[in-house]
Amino acid sequence: MRSDRRHQPNIAISSWTVARIETVDHGSLGAQLVALREVHAFKTGDVAAALEAARRAMTLDFDDALQARSAACCHYGSALYFSGSIDEAQGAFRRAVQLAEKVSDRRRRIYALGYLALIAAESGQLADAEHQIRRATGVGTDPAGGEHYVNAIVSLAAATVLDVRGDVAAAADAAHLAVGLARKDAGILEVAKALAVRAKILEDLGDHQTAASSRNEAGALLRGRADAGIAQTLLATAAPSAGVAVTARNQACAVGEELTPKELEVLGLLATRLSRREIGQRLYVSLNTVKTHQRALYRKLGVEDRNTAVKRARELGLL
């Protein structure tokens, strides 16, 4: 497998990210400056600050600077996505697409459509995901859709679709491309997401060494730069299916019963500050399903509450 140079986070604002700030009027200038703060916060992995700036930007007057408003919607959507507010993220990206199309801003349109495709793919709506990929690139799940970093999420969506459909080799190619494009100027969370998805796919292919390298790099990128809950969720994406099963089997004598992959996913998120409803949103399952997995976890771990379950899991090496 190919090796990629390490991503060095670039906190500078790229030329397309926010439209050139022109001296239109004081209100519009102020709105664009808020949008710049939103983009900077997201690029550096500070989702809370990005959301705060984005919500403020959405209430301000951009006057005729539709490119700046489109950029604000794009990064608002990204911050919402990584915070687990998927429905709101979809709304922001749809609005970003509309604004980008009004001003023929191809790159922002691709960026927003890529996220709409990724959200659809991760929720199992593969036909919709492929439709959004075609809107972005004009070519189904062929990942070779451009060399700008805005194409990274499109490639990531393609990798997810291909992986679900069982074409793991093609999924790995798309994931490699997503990582390479993300490293060009994407936000830290986006690079880590691409690395995590690539790690999972490479594990399925049996390339454990490169998969481990991708997981380690994702962890290094997130350390100290992202909310602990967001980091935990991203790194859980990279957990190898086979490796998880082995870990569970190795602990079976201590746990009593083997934990299922989904129970292990829930367990990882129970170690964060996410509520059960938020865990359901991250895993695209209902609140009742989360509760069912949680009860099974407690029974298998021999505990009665969340904190004790997390403590017990750490003692067993499950976290």
- Full residue range of the structural domain in which residue 61 is found: 26-239
Q: Does residue 41 or residue 160 have the better pLDDT?
A: 160
Among the residue ranges 2-16, 23-37, 64-78, 181-195, the one predicted with the least confidence is: 2-16
Does one domain contain both 74 and 190? yes
pLDDT mean over 136-143? 63
Does one domain contain both 149 and 227? yes
Residue 10 lies in a domain: no
Q: Say what the pLDDT of residue 251 is.
A: 45
Does one domain contain both 219 and 294? no
Radius of gyration, alpha carbons of the chain: 20
Residue 167 lies in a domain: yes
Q: Does residue 192 or residue 228 have the better pLDDT?
A: 192
* Spatial distance between the Cα atoms of 7 and 64, rounded to a whole number of angstroms: 36
Does one domain contain both 214 and 69? yes
Q: What is the DSSP letter of 39?
A: H
Among 205, 239, 273, where does a domain finish?
Answer: 239
pLDDT mean over 44-60? 77
List of residues 6+ apart from 198 with CB closer than 8 A: 159, 172, 175, 176, 178, 179, 211, 214
pLDDT mean over 51-74? 72
Q: Does residue 227 or residue 149 have the better pLDDT?
A: 149
- The CA distances from residue 100 to 67, 69, 74, 79, 103, in Å, are 7, 9, 10, 19, 5
Q: Say what the pLDDT of residue 265 is.
A: 85
Does one domain contain both 198 and 100? yes
Work out the angle at residue 301's Cα, subtended by the Cα atoms of residues 295 and 302, and round it to the nearest 5 degrees: 85
Domain count for the chain, please give it.
Answer: 2
Residue 119 lies in a domain: yes
Does one domain contain both 170 and 253? no
Residue 16 lies in a domain: no
Q: Say what the pLDDT of residue 250 is.
A: 43
Does one domain contain both 186 and 231? yes
Q: Say what the pLDDT of residue 33 is.
A: 65
* 63, pLDDT greater than 90: no
* Spatial distance between the Cα atoms of 29 and 11, rounded to a whole number of angstroms: 21
Does one domain contain both 45 and 161? yes
* 38, pLDDT greater than 70: no
* 256, pLDDT greater than 80: no
Among 239, 255, 270, where does a domain finish?
Answer: 239
Residue 190 lies in a domain: yes
Token pair of 50, please? 């990005």
Q: Say what the pLDDT of residue 157 is.
A: 96
Q: Say what the pLDDT of residue 65 is.
A: 59
Q: Is 85 helix (H, G, I), strand (E, B) or coil?
A: coil
Residue 30 lies in a domain: yes
Q: Say what the pLDDT of residue 220 is.
A: 87
Q: Say what the pLDDT of residue 27 is.
A: 44
What proportion of the chain, given as a percentage, has pLDDT over 70? Answer: 76
The model's pLDDT over 162-205, given as tens digits with 9 standing for 90+, comes to: 998 889 899 999 999 999 999 988 888 999 999 999 999 998 88
Contact 51, 80 (CB under 8 A): yes
CATH of the domain at 143: 1.25.40.10
Does one domain contain both 262 and 208? no
Specify burial of residue 99 (Cβ count, 10 A radius: 0-12, 13-18, 19+).
buried
pLDDT mean over 224-247? 65
* 3, pLDDT greater than 50: no
Residue 14 lies in a domain: no
- The CA distances from residue 89 to 80, 147, 191, 213, 292, in Å, are 5, 25, 19, 30, 27
The CB density around residue 209, as the number of other CB atoms within 10 Å, is: 10
Q: Say what the pLDDT of residue 230 is.
A: 81
Among 219, 239, 259, where does a domain finish?
Answer: 239
Does one domain contain both 266 and 196? no
Does one domain contain both 260 and 214? no
The model's pLDDT over 146-166, given as tens digits with 9 standing for 90+, comes to: 678 899 999 999 999 999 888
List of residues 6+ apart from 304 with CB closer than 8 A: 298
Average pLDDT of the chain to the nearest whole number: 78
The model's pLDDT over 78-131, given as tens digits with 9 standing for 90+, comes to: 989 998 889 999 999 999 999 999 888 899 999 999 999 999 999 889 999 999
Residue 259 lies in a domain: yes
Pick from 45, 68, 46, 44: nearest CA to 57: 68
pLDDT mean over 55-73? 70
